[in-house]
Amino acid sequence: MVFDAWLNVRQPEWNPRAGQEVLKFEEMTEEIEQVTRLQSLDLRIGELEREIATLPKHIAQIEKALDSHLRRLEADRAALAGNQKERKRLEDDSKVESQKISKLKDQMLGAKTNEQYRAFQHEITFCEEAIRKAEDRILDLMAEAEPLDVNVKKAEAALKEEKQQVEAEKARARERTAVDQKQHEQLVAERKVLVGGLKPQTHSAYERIRKKWHGVAVAEASEGRCSACHMVLRPQFFQDLRHSEQVMFCESCGRILYYNPPVSFEHDMAAQPHQ
C-alpha cells in the first residue's frame, strides 16, 4: 500500500547515542562540531515533523478511497434493490390481470348478445397483452439483475478485505507516529542543551543562515569547493579554513563551512585496537 512506500523513505544514517549523523569530528574545533551536530539534529527534527504531519493526510487519503468504494457498492445495491422491486410490482400486476381474465371468462358465459361476448373477448385480449409485456420486462430485469448481483457480492467481499487493510494501515501509521513523536521530543531536548553551549553570536548566525537556506546552514568544504553551492573557494580562504579555529562562512552562499580532513588507511589501522 501507499503507506509502505511512505515508511520506506530512506533516512540518513543516525547514531542515537551521539544524536547526530555519523561523521568524523576528531580534528574539528569544538564550536564547529557543535554547529555541525546542531545542523544534523535540525535536519532530523525537520524530517520527523514532516513525517508526523503526513499522518492525518495519509489517513484521510486511504479513508477517502475506502469511502469511494463504499459509495459504488451502495449504488450497485440500490440498483439491485430497484430491479427486484420492479420485478415484484410486475409479478403482482400479472396476478391482478390473471384474476381479471378469470372473472371476464366467467362473465362471458352469461353474455346475451354477440356484442357483449366480443366486448369480453376484447378485455381478455387486453389483459393477456398486459401480462405478456410484464413477463417480457421481468425477463429483461432478471438478465440485468444477474451481473448486478455478482458485482454486489464481489464488492462486499473486496470492501471487507479493504476495511481490514485500512484499519491495519492506520494502526501502523499511529504506531510509527508515536515512535516519531517520542524521538522528536528527545531530539528537541538535546537541541536545547546543545544551543545552550553555543556562543550567542554563533547561534544567531546559524539561525539566520538556516532560515535563508531552508534549513541548511552548514556545509562541508570538500576539494576546495563549498558542497552546498558548489562554488570554488579561494585557495587562501581554503587554507585558512583548514587550520582556523574560528567559525568561517562561505564567501558565495554565506553558509557555515567545516573541513573534514580525509583519514588515511594507515591512520585507520593505527586507530584500531590491537587484537
Do residues 42 and 160 both lie within one domain?
A: yes
Do residues 158 and 263 both lie within one domain?
A: no
Q: 77-81, 109-113, 196-200 — which is least confidently predicted? A: 109-113
Nearest CA-CA partner of 99 in 117, 133, 123:
123
Q: What pTM was computed for the model?
A: 0.56
**Final residue of a structural domain among 198, 231, 254:** 198
In a domain, 73, yes or no: yes
Contact in structure between 227 and 219 (CB atoms under 8 Å): yes
In a domain, 18, yes or no: no
CA angle 190, 7, 39 (to 5 degrees): 30
- Which residues are registered as beta bridge partners of 232? 225
The packing angle between helices 30-108 and 200-212, to 10°, is 40
- Per DSSP bridges, beta strands 256-258 and 218-222 are parallel
Do residues 32 and 58 both lie within one domain?
A: yes
More confident residue, 274 or 120: 120
Locus of grid cell 582556523:
244
**Final residue of a structural domain among 177, 198, 219:** 198
In a domain, 238, yes or no: yes
Confidence of residue 64 (pLDDT cuts 50, 70, 90): confident
Taking residue 200's Cβ as centre, other Cβ atoms within 10 Å add up to: 8
Q: What CATH number is given to the structural domain containing 110?
A: 1.10.287.1490
Do residues 234 and 124 both lie within one domain?
A: no
- Per DSSP bridges, beta strands 256-258 and 248-249 are antiparallel
Q: Structural domain tally of the chain? A: 2
Containing structural domain, residue 241: 199-275
In a domain, 169, yes or no: yes
pLDDT tens per residue, range 205-240: 999 999 999 999 999 999 899 999 999 999 999 999
